[in-house]
Amino acid sequence: MSHKHINNPFKKHSEDEEIKETEQVEETGKSEEIKSETDELNSEFDKLKEDYDKLNNQYLRLAADFDNFRKRQEQERENLLKFGMENTMKKMLEVLDNFERGEKALENVDDCEKVKESFNLVHKQTIDALTKLGLEQIDAENKEFDPNLHEAVMRTPTDEHPENTVIAVLQKGYKIGDKVLRPALVNVAAAD
């Protein structure tokens, strides 16, 4: 009987078909599993691409905004400098006018006191105009030497003043706010 079973051509064919069907079912399962994984990966890729495009667009807008901001800042800085210079020139034109008036007035003056008085008036007006623009004179005489405000060009040994005290101002220093335009050139007391 076992011999018949082995020689049965129908039975053999049936077993081969079962194996093929099993293999096809397994392959179909694998294929569906691969298809499912591929769909997940495609979906994830699409989401990542969408996120990338969104971030890239945000970056491009931000870069353009920053470039526009930088250009506006440059324009504002130029306008401030231009306006500041214009304002300064207007203040100094008043001083220039008075110099010219003084020059005409002094053509026929022989009195030295009149010349001195005119000079002092224009000098005071110049100082007033510059003070209105924010210029401050650095107070140095009889103050302790400060390298941020003073430049020591001489050191004089003396017992009359404490060491590192400014005993003479050789050239006035000026500042605008906290910014030193020119340090005061000073003579500083040194120990004997």
- Written as tens digits, the pLDDT of the chain (192 aa) is 444 445 555 555 566 666 666 666 666 667 777 878 888 889 999 999 999 999 999 999 999 999 999 999 999 888 887 777 777 777 777 777 777 777 777 777 777 787 788 788 888 888 888 888 888 999 999 999 999 999 999 999 988 888 999 999 999 899 988 889 889 999 999 987
What whole-number distance in Å separates Cα of residue 139 and Cα of residue 124?
Answer: 18
Query: In the prediction, which pLDDT does 101 show?
Result: 77
Whether pTM > 0.85 for this model: the answer is no
User: Which CATH number, 1.10.1370.40, 2.60.40.10, 3.40.50.1240, 2.30.22.10, labels domain 136-192?
Assistant: 2.30.22.10
Q: Please give the Cα distance from 84 to 131 (Å, whole number).
A: 14
